[in-house]
Structure 1
């Protein structure tokens, strides 16, 4: 008779005492009973510690309480638990969430039935702060609806083989969020992943939810991609030509590259952030105006920007105010080949108007291009407001979850923010701007800002 494998469930808690009892009772009520539970109090100032101790007394042989005198953060905490875990499988459950009674049974059954799979996750219910169900998040099915791997598992309530995570060194302790993304990219290609088309837990939405710290999550993703990108380094590093197209003036917006934003000209900001990226081989300023190129040369001579290339282009067949992006990228790629004798592996379009684009965004775009093996990567901003499209009966709402302040995976809409477009040279030459497999990096609304008229400069000059 086979022995049912043990599952280690751990619950980090910092000032979530009001939710902790429901969370733990959802583990006690599991249909699958071979589990151990580790409660970690992160120096809470509420009654979390006392509640955790009371819960431990219910089943002291299976529940362990760890008291941290100072908060150490999710990744360090997870690594400590990893060293304590006795289970063949392991899963984090957040203190403000709770499990469906069949969660462990379903996930263990999936992992036991598919030995080549190292992690499994399912759908979940969104609830309000009081626990009332708002809707269900139905994740995309791996390998079918999400072949690109852009939708990693949720960090909580993803079950994984403990040994697999130990084998890859556990969690990276310098990354303080997005442990689901790190699990995904560390384990998915190594041991495989599976998803369940069933809800397995309840995900509480409230003002103090850690998942609402949007900028922190995006920064953590950048660090994860940087770490994985560095791990790809071998004997060859792809060459990258970053082109900054510059039109001197637009109707109603004269002298664009010379305009200053927070003490630096738009062109100076664009060249500097691009040249500082370790993934960029050459920065190319491309313009129809010799005055613009002369200005760039002066910036370089004065030491205000790093060394870069400059190329004068004709109108490329257009007099429109809009830039023909693909033509400009091709022109820059050919110019790069003239300079170096070889074509670039990657060409990146960088808008001069994206004043908050930073070096880390550019490096993330190239890392994502390599890691996902996509044809191209675009920078996007998630549409956070309800969006409608014309239908046979009038307007059709494309993302109804936004009226409940929810972002369902299947309703997420993104707009190109114009900051970055990176593409493999071979794809660009195939009369395509994006190719077939398009990846993305998400930027915050603040980082997506584009200065398109003098009014937007305001007092920033």
Structure 2
């Protein structure tokens, strides 16, 4: 029975992009050749490599021309272009991307094909993996979330590489966007989510090499690509009805150690001006209000508008018992929502609270948060910065390390810790109406260390700089 399955099972296309990874390429290809599941083909993409990638790829093709083909690109075309060419030329029912610096466990294709064939509704399957160093020594094991049982928000995609996908499903959603140069796993996940079922294998199926030239280490590029993907996917949801969003900029004029907060300038712009512009320039924000207990702050807001330094926006005087009292955020949002209702005779669909202290927040961050709010249908979205340093909690025997992988410079999915950076809180209005602030399901957008900087008490408060 097993032999018959191996011989006659559906064809699997494994495509391998390679740019100057000739030193790793042989191991990647040979890991496919050693698969227990034998019905496969390989498409090698040489991304204008300057090393020996060209020669290694051609040697393997000459040795097995029926199952290995090579595409030499004169200039680098990027992962999305490669993925679309793989979809176009693949003979396989299923498609897998194997990065040239990684390699498969011998049971990988067998396990993934068996899982997909067990349920016609499944469209993609992924497994756990080993972290290794540049020399291939195992550093640890990544155990991902079970999409069905543990990660139901829909926000966390499976690992992009070594995910097996039904080729027809990729064709049905139009493949990949070639103007986005990273994060193809995110685009794949949000395009297919809701169309096909996904499953994970609770066993390591490949080896994920960590080295200084790894593309996945370019965090700023990845965050920018993720922003573009989320915006584009959210645009596909647009219909005749456009959801409304009220951006709320809560401003306190002074703190004991930070007087004149909204007037403080950064690069020639006051904090209030920067906050209003980041809200007004966001395409998914339909109304902006500055709310404060200080009439002087509202007068300053009005002056900025008259001088043409910020677009038109509303102002709302907060009702508080005393200027020194701390106003709960939920109360600020609830009052702002009521003010919107008084003007528009209806409630806003969503709210976005924007801290005046997060002076590097931009309109694209606000739009990203609102895109995630719609794509995931979570109750709320918070802006966060990933904690890159070891973090402890107190246990019975003193401090307990919450993310021990950081000591090995590894970022295990289950150990990742995120700190609210204070920049954005987006939520559906009905969450506030139910007396909550975050609701039950909370999604997030990740911002870089630079963009997470806050200005407080005449000093810069930064996150993991």
Same fold by TM-score, threshold 0.5 exceeded?
yes
> Shift of residue 211 of structure 1?
0.4
* Structure 2 counterpart of 1:131, from 131, 136, 139: 136
> Shift of residue 188 of structure 1?
2.3
The residue that corresponds to 2:291 in the other structure is 286
Q: Does 1:145 align with 2:147?
A: no
On the 8 A contact 1:97/1:204 being kept in 2, the answer is yes
SS in 2 for 1:254: coil
Pairing 1:252-271 to 2, within 5 Å after superposition: 252-271=257-276
Q: Does 1:389 align with 2:393?
A: yes
* Structure 1 counterpart of 2:351, from 326, 331, 347: 347
What is the RMSD computed on CA atoms of the aligned residues?
Answer: 1.3
In structure 2, C-alpha distance between the alignment counterparts of 1:264 and 1:254, rounded to whole Å? 17
Q: Does 1:16 align with 2:32?
A: no
In structure 1, C-alpha distance between the alignment counterparts of 2:449 and 2:206, rounded to whole Å? 30
* Structure 2 counterpart of 1:170, from 175, 183, 196: 175
On the 8 A contact 2:320/2:327 being kept in 1, the answer is no
Pairing 1:416-435 to 2, within 5 Å after superposition: 416-435=420-439
On the 8 A contact 1:316/1:327 being kept in 2, the answer is no
* Structure 1 counterpart of 2:196, from 171, 187, 191: 191
In structure 2, C-alpha distance between the alignment counterparts of 1:121 and 1:440, rounded to whole Å? 23
* Structure 2 counterpart of 1:115, from 115, 120, 136: 120
In structure 1, C-alpha distance between the alignment counterparts of 2:306 and 2:312, rounded to whole Å? 9
* Structure 1 counterpart of 2:86, from 81, 90, 110: 81
In structure 2, C-alpha distance between the alignment counterparts of 1:42 and 1:27, rounded to whole Å? 20
Q: Kindly tell me: are residues 317 and 145 of structure 1, through their superposed partners in 2, closer, same or farther at Cα, counting changes over 3 Å?
A: farther
* Structure 1 counterpart of 2:107, from 98, 102, 115: 102
The residue that corresponds to 2:244 in the other structure is 239
> Shift of residue 319 of structure 1?
2.8
SS in 2 for 1:220: helix
Matched positions, count:
456
> Shift of residue 256 of structure 1?
1.0
> Could you list the runs of 5+ residues in structure 1 that have no partner in the other structure?
none
SS in 1 for 2:352: strand
> Shift of residue 306 of structure 1?
0.4
Misfit runs of 4+, over 6 Å: none
In structure 2, C-alpha distance between the alignment counterparts of 1:404 and 1:455, rounded to whole Å? 32
The residue that corresponds to 1:60 in the other structure is 65
SS in 2 for 1:410: helix
> Shift of residue 318 of structure 1?
7.3
Q: Does 1:221 align with 2:226?
A: yes
Q: Kindly tell me: are residues 117 and 318 of structure 1, through their superposed partners in 2, closer, same or farther at Cα, counting changes over 3 Å?
A: farther
On the 8 A contact 2:293/2:323 being kept in 1, the answer is no
Q: Kindly tell me: are residues 424 and 327 of structure 1, through their superposed partners in 2, closer, same or farther at Cα, counting changes over 3 Å?
A: same
> Could you list the runs of 5+ residues in structure 2 that have no partner in the other structure?
none
- Residues 337-381 of structure 1 show CA distances to partners (whole Å, capped at 9, x for unaligned) of 111111111111100011111111111111111111111111111
In structure 1, C-alpha distance between the alignment counterparts of 2:323 and 2:53, rounded to whole Å? 66
Query: So what's the TM-score if we normalise by structure 2?
Result: 0.96
In structure 1, C-alpha distance between the alignment counterparts of 2:345 and 2:437, rounded to whole Å? 24
The residue that corresponds to 2:415 in the other structure is 411
* Structure 1 counterpart of 2:307, from 299, 302, 312: 302
Query: So what's the TM-score if we normalise by structure 1?
Result: 0.97
In structure 2, C-alpha distance between the alignment counterparts of 1:176 and 1:333, rounded to whole Å? 39
SS in 2 for 1:86: coil
On the 8 A contact 1:389/1:398 being kept in 2, the answer is yes
- Residues 4-57 of structure 1 show CA distances to partners (whole Å, capped at 9, x for unaligned) of 110000000000010001111100100000000011100011111111112222
Moved more, 234-243 or 130-139: 234-243
In structure 1, C-alpha distance between the alignment counterparts of 2:327 and 2:62, rounded to whole Å? 68
The residue that corresponds to 1:445 in the other structure is 449
In structure 2, C-alpha distance between the alignment counterparts of 1:330 and 1:445, rounded to whole Å? 30
* Structure 2 counterpart of 1:71, from 59, 69, 76: 76
The residue that corresponds to 1:90 in the other structure is 95
* Structure 2 counterpart of 1:398, from 402, 411, 416: 402
The residue that corresponds to 2:32 in the other structure is 27
In structure 1, C-alpha distance between the alignment counterparts of 2:428 and 2:322, rounded to whole Å? 24
In structure 2, C-alpha distance between the alignment counterparts of 1:456 and 1:133, rounded to whole Å? 40
On the 8 A contact 2:131/2:139 being kept in 1, the answer is yes
> Shift of residue 316 of structure 1?
5.6
- Residues 65-97 of structure 1 show CA distances to partners (whole Å, capped at 9, x for unaligned) of 110000011101111121111100001000000
